[in-house]
């Protein structure tokens, strides 16, 4: 059965965590003295302890992200050193390492667990001198603190900014829903408030009529958290030092030890190839946008103009803009439709669950397969103060069988920051938001559909970082298809079904400026990967980014832009030297999508069931490229990615 989301006693949480960790230390010491050392006497109990710790700590970590307050922050920050010290002790435990290194596993899953454990011990410094082990421990502790500080600085900077407008001309082009969300009354006068929270920021950058105000908002967004510059320097220095201590030439090589990509050259060749494939079309797309801005308003395009004029150009080209879609995508109906589609594709049923949550807006569902309970999912989808920006999936419980033969069931959280409901309007989504929801649901079912019996390779556990985005990107592709959208897209007031012409325009506009989007993602990925191939400090970080932008940024951003200060993915989110994985995994996701959806026939349910059985249910129990080959009988085809974006294939010679 599932854990109930707890009402955490924040003041005493660090003490309770310390007591739990001390008990686990004693258990681990006993395990290392057990003879003979076998998989069942060592690694099965260790995985039980991992689940116990995860179940205990995740609620605090989660609340610190979704209901951030001085109290959650204090409890979380006090807990990080305790966890870091515990994990460092575990990876320095020579007796435990020697025992695991000699274990002969009896099943393929167990063998993968042993291999991963031995690898992870080595990457944590198990074979280093005692002095170097202690240094690794200090580095890991400091990196944990710095990552949290980076994230907190970004959250504080985002929450502290607001732009108040009082001229109706400045907001004349905002769609009704965005305008309603921005409107505030103060002392009998109407004002319009915009913040750096994504729904608000995107709304004004896309529809804000006042160019100077757009630049003001853009500057605030791209210069957030300047204190993160010093944090970046220290993070990079510590990562480089850790890699050297472990015998690697740089942090990128160290990071690739747990990924599917073979080596640094493979990653860079992939990114450069993608850049060269997309660049010619991207140049055409940008020139078209520049010409449109000149003809429309007589201006030379700048970075703070791109979203505004892109929306106008898209509307002129396709008679389409995102505001047209919002009345048809009521959040609750979209979520219901998504669950129906997952049910049809994969044979899973969802039922509402009345259980404790952290906020009244959270919706919870239990998963059933053939009438049997098999998982639980929490949806927290609306923006609010004190909630970290963006969207993500966070796993909580994991499917596995413990030492007593008890089967544990998985649970997960899906979090987003969609426009909240108002007194007169329900939460309405842009089509981009619908895609985001499908994306995060793809992550969630990867974890929830896990059926491995060994916790360390069940769900998303043990899955290489550079393919972790495969299932999420796979599912988001369905959010553009007419058979999918027609199931839940109904006008929130009239109940009218979304017009077929609008669905056609959504799909036609899907790849609008797709090549420019690819260049932007390649820019982030190249910056991240090259940043971790050498040690860069201070202005060198910006110089590296500027050098990469000479190829990727066809419209150079202003000199004040400090994108890196907000690059949470790599400085506080676990994607260091791994941002390339979004595109790397997209090759698999595009190929898988075309296997499961025939443009003429609709869902290929047998292929979808095979995808669930061979990919999702297996988790990290085997390398993803091997699982993919077992499913389709071949390797993924990079041409599927080009096809997905409707980019003409490059012809050499």
Direct distance between the N- and C-terminal alpha carbons of the chain, in angstroms, rounded to an integer: 62
pLDDT computed for residue 465 by the predictor: 84
Is it true that the peptide bond before 279 is cis, omega within 30 degrees of 0?
no
pLDDT computed for residue 597 by the predictor: 82
> In the predicted model, what is the mean pLDDT of residues 455-464?
97
pLDDT computed for residue 619 by the predictor: 97
| Dist. CA 109–CA 43, nearest whole Å | 12
Residue 291: both structure tokens together: 């010409």
Instruction: Given the residues 285, 440, 469, 476, select the one marked as catalytic.
Output: 440
**DSSP-assigned letters across all residues of 309-357:** HHHHHHHHHHS--HHHHGGG-BHHHHHHHHHHHHHHHH--EEEE-----
Q: Which of 119-128, 289-298, 509-518 has the highest mean pLDDT?
A: 289-298
pLDDT computed for residue 600 by the predictor: 64
pLDDT computed for residue 652 by the predictor: 53
pLDDT computed for residue 343 by the predictor: 96
| Dist. CA 83–CA 17, nearest whole Å | 9
What is the chain's percent helix, strand, coil content, to nearest 5?
Answer: 60, 10, 30
Which residue in 608, 615, 605 sits closest to 585, CA to CA? 615
Residue 494: both structure tokens together: 């009239």
H or E stretch covering 195: strand 189-195
> In the predicted model, what is the mean pLDDT of residues 151-162?
95
Give the predicted TM-score (pTM) of the model: 0.79
The tens digit of pLDDT for each residue in 585-594 reads 998 999 999 9
> In the predicted model, what is the mean pLDDT of residues 497-520?
91
| Dist. CA 472–CA 442, nearest whole Å | 4
The b/e string for 273-296 (b: 16+ C-beta within 10 A; e otherwise) is ebbebbbebbeebbeebbebbeee
| Dist. CA 564–CA 532, nearest whole Å | 14
pLDDT computed for residue 354 by the predictor: 96
Sheet holding 162-165, edge to edge: 162-165, 189-195, 183-186
Residue 581: both structure tokens together: 């994985």
R_g over Cα of the chain: 25
| Dist. CA 167–CA 371, nearest whole Å | 58
pLDDT computed for residue 653 by the predictor: 43
Q: Please check the confidence at residue 474 and state whether its pLDDT lies above 90.
A: yes
Alpha-carbon distances of 576 from 214, 244, 306, rounded to whole Å: 31, 16, 28
| Dist. CA 74–CA 83, nearest whole Å | 15
pLDDT computed for residue 648 by the predictor: 78
Residue 113: both structure tokens together: 């667990």
> In the predicted model, what is the mean pLDDT of residues 162-178?
94
Of 25-29, 521-525, 599-603, give the lowest mean pLDDT range. 599-603
Q: How confident is the model at residue 510 (pLDDT cuts 50, 70, 90)?
A: confident
Q: How confident is the model at residue 211 (pLDDT cuts 50, 70, 90)?
A: very high
Of 423-432, 515-524, 600-609, give the lowest mean pLDDT range. 600-609
pLDDT computed for residue 650 by the predictor: 64
pLDDT computed for residue 294 by the predictor: 97
| Dist. CA 413–CA 427, nearest whole Å | 19
* Active-site residue flag, 54: no
| Dist. CA 421–CA 410, nearest whole Å | 30
Q: Please check the confidence at residue 119 and state whether its pLDDT lies above 90.
A: yes
pLDDT computed for residue 101 by the predictor: 92
24: number of Cβ within 10 Å: 18
The tens digit of pLDDT for each residue in 605-633 reads 899 999 999 999 999 999 998 999 999 99
- Whether the CB-CB separation of 229 and 565 falls below 8 Å is answered with yes
Q: How confident is the model at residue 81 (pLDDT cuts 50, 70, 90)?
A: very high
- Percentage, residues of the chain above pLDDT 90: 84
What's the mean per-residue pLDDT of the chain? Answer: 94
Strand duo 400-401 + 407-408: pairing: antiparallel
> In the predicted model, what is the mean pLDDT of residues 141-160?
94
The tens digit of pLDDT for each residue in 276-323 reads 989 999 999 999 999 999 999 999 999 999 999 999 999 899 887 778
pLDDT computed for residue 387 by the predictor: 94
132: number of Cβ within 10 Å: 14
Domains in the chain, start-ordered, CATH in brackets? 10-127 (1.20.1050.40), 161-222 (no CATH), 327-513 (1.10.1370.40)
pLDDT computed for residue 63 by the predictor: 96
């Amino acid at each position: 059965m599932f854990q109930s989301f707890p009402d955490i006693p924040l003041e005493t949480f660090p003490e309770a965590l310390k007591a739990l960790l001390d008990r686990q230390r004693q258990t681990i010491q006993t395990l290392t003295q057990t003879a003979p050392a076998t998989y069942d006497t060592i690694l099965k109990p260790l995985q039980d302890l991992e689940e116990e710790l995860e179940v205990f700590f995740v609620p605090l970590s989660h609340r610190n992200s979704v209901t951030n307050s001085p109290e959650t922050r204090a409890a979380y920050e006090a807990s990080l050193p305790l966890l870091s010290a515990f994990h460092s002790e575990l990876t320095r435990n020579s007796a435990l390492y020697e025992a695991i290194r000699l274990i002969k596993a009896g099943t393929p899953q167990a063998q993968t667990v042993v291999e991963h454990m031995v690898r992870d011990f080595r990457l944590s410094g198990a074979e280093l001198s005692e002095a170097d082990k202690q240094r690794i421990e200090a580095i890991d502790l400091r990196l944990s603190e710095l990552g949290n500080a980076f994230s907190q600085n970004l959250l504080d900077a985002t929450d502290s900014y607001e732009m108040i407008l009082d001229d109706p001309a400045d907001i004349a082009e905002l769609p009704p829903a965005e305008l309603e969300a921005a409107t505030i009354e103060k002392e009998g006068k109407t004002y319009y408030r915009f913040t750096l929270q994504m729904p608000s920021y995107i709304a004004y950058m896309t529809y804000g009529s006042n160019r100077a105000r757009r630049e003001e908002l853009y500057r605030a967004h791209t210069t957030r958290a300047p204190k993160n510059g010093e944090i970046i320097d220290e993070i990079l220095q510590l990562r480089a030092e850790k890699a050297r201590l472990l015998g690697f030439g740089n942090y990128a090589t160290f990071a690739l030890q747990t990924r599917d990509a073979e080596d640094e050259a493979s990653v860079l060749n992939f990114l450069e190839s993608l850049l060269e494939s997309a660049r010619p079309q991207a140049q055409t797309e940008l020139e078209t946008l520049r010409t449109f801005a000149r003809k429309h308003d007589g201006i030379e395009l700048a970075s703070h103009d791109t979203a505004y004029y892109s929306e106008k150009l898209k509307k002129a080209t396709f008679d389409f803009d995102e505001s047209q879609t919002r009345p048809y995508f009521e959040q609750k109906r979209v979520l219901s439709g998504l669950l129906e589609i997952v049910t049809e594709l994969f044979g899973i049923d969802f039922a509402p669950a009345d259980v404790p949550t952290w906020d009244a807006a959270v919706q919870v569902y239990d998963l059933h397969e053939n009438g049997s309970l098999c998982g639980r999912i929490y949806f927290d989808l609306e923006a609010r103060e004190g909630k970290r920006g963006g969207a993500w999936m966070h796993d909580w419980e994991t499917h596995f069988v413990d030492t007593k033969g008890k089967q544990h069931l998985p649970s997960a959280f899906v979090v987003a920051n969609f426009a909240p409901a108002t007194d007169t309007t329900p939460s309405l989504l842009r089509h981009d938001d619908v895609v985001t929801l499908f994306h995060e649901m793809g992550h969630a079912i990867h974890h929830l559909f896990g059926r491995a019996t060994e916790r360390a390779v069940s769900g998303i556990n043990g899955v290489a970082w550079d393919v972790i985005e495969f299932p999420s990107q796979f599912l988001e592709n369905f959010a553009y298809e007419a058979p999918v959208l027609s199931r839940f897209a109904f006008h929130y007031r009239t109940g009218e079904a979304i017009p077929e012409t609008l669905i056609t325009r959504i799909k036609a506009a899907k790849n609008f400026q797709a090549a420019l989007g690819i260049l932007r993602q390649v820019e982030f990925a190249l910056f991240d990967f090259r940043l971790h191939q050498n040690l860069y400090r201070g202005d060198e970080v910006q110089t590296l980014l500027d050098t990469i932008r000479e190829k990727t940024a066809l419209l150079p951003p202003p000199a004040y832009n400090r994108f890196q200060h907000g690059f949470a993915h790599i400085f506080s989110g676990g994607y260091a030297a791994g941002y390339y994985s979004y595109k790397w995994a997209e090759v698999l996701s595009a190929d898988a999508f075309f296997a499961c959806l025939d443009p003429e026939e609709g869902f290929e349910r047998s292929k979808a069931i095979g995808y669930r059985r061979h990919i999702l249910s297996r988790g990290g129990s085997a390398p993803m490229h091997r699982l993919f080959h077992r499913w389709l009988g071949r390797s993924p085809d990079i041409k599927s990615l080009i096809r997905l974006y409707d980019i003409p294939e490059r012809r050499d010679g």
